[in-house]
Amino acid sequence: MSVEAPSTPWPTAHGPAPARGRIRVEPEDFRVEEVLGFEPDGAGAHLLLTVEKRGANTGWVAAALARAAGVHPREIGYCGHKDRQALAVQAFTLPLPLGRPLEPWLEHAGEGYRVIGAARHGRKLRPGSHRANRFTLRVRALEGARDALEARLALIAARGVPNYFGPQRFGRGGANLARARAWAEGGAPPRERSQRGFALSAARSHLFNNVLGARIASGDWDRLRHGEAVLLDGRRSFFAAPVIDATLEERCATMDVHPSGPLPGREPSPATGAALELESAVLATEPALLALLVAEGLEHERRSLRLPVRELAWRLEGEELVVSFVLPRGSFATAVLHELLVGAWEAAGEGGEE
């Protein structure tokens, strides 16, 4: 089976984007708020802070909190990096011995951030500890037929969008992916451990996006193929389905399960049949990157090809669009904008997100 690797930016699923507009004119135009999915337990030797940051890196805020608390930066916990060119609300934890008051932290602020909530909690936050992220985005200087734009939004609410890794994953100007390619082709690995991690992550994300693009081209990015590794909605668990029956088709139609794509590693893919055939053909177009991931010992994982866009709402304000939605952790708002706005992919890659 011969498969061409998709070009970048990767293809849209619902047809050409129906509008143009400007995003991230001001940080407040891109608001993201963590949905933890749990409440602070009110006890324990950690302090859970709710922090609002504007135009600041998550890592920089974590380091500032560590200095204020007098602890090592690695003792600061958070669920993940949030957008830099944005107004972001996210949780951090830091050690706070029992008997120490938490009230002073409610007045704490620094350059680009302020604490807006504090509570005792029993454990440190880890990457991926949250359930989802809520986005509220403002698009300025909107151009395009309003009826076409609203029809596209309704289609996205019903069917979701391709679950692409956004351009932010590949670094400014694609630097992370470029490092991975140089390394894969025999160059020296990046010197810093974090840079090696970013490079490997970019390589896996690129390969996943290629498979997803090929599934879009084949018309079944949101439907199950025979041999699919079927992913449960909202979870990392999957099961192999050599044959897709009517029950699985119905579960997929209601977004209870999703088709999945590879985050390649040393283990073989759990997909079989037609699903594995396409997946293998696409990965074969990037043998050096695939070999690098195997050599570095990464474990094979699965990621949903489809991204449900839940609680989608929008309003038109003159020449501006305000749209809000909730996405599961690990997904990118860029994937939604890619289906709405011409040039959204390139704009997101110019320096908005960490």
- Distance (Å, whole) CA 259 – CA 224: 5
| Residue 222 designated active-site | no
Burial (0-12, 13-18, 19+ Cβ within 10 Å), 145: exposed
Quick one: which of 82, 105, 140, 87 has its CA closest to 327? Answer: 82
> Which residues make Cβ contacts (< 8 Å) with residue 26, sequence separation at least 6?
none
Instruction: With beta carbons less than 8 A apart as the criterion, state whether 42 and 112 touch.
Output: no
Q: Where are the alpha helices (DSSP H) in 52-192?
A: 58-69, 146-159, 175-184
Contacts of residue 90, defined as CB under 8 A and 6 or more positions apart, other chains included, come to 33, 34, 50, 51, 53, 58, 78, 79, 80, 82
Angle subtended at Cα 221 by Cα 219 and Cα 222, rounded to the nearest 5 degrees: 105
Catalytic residue among 29, 41, 83, 220: 83
- List, in sequence order, the alpha helices (H) in the chain: 58-69, 146-159, 175-184, 193-218, 246-253, 273-283, 287-295, 333-338, 344-348
Q: How far is CA 330 from CA 133, 173, 236, in A?
A: 9, 21, 11
User: 326, 133 in Cβ contact below 8 A?
Assistant: yes
Cα-based angle 167, 210, 248 (whole degrees, multiple of 5)? 110
Active site residues: 83
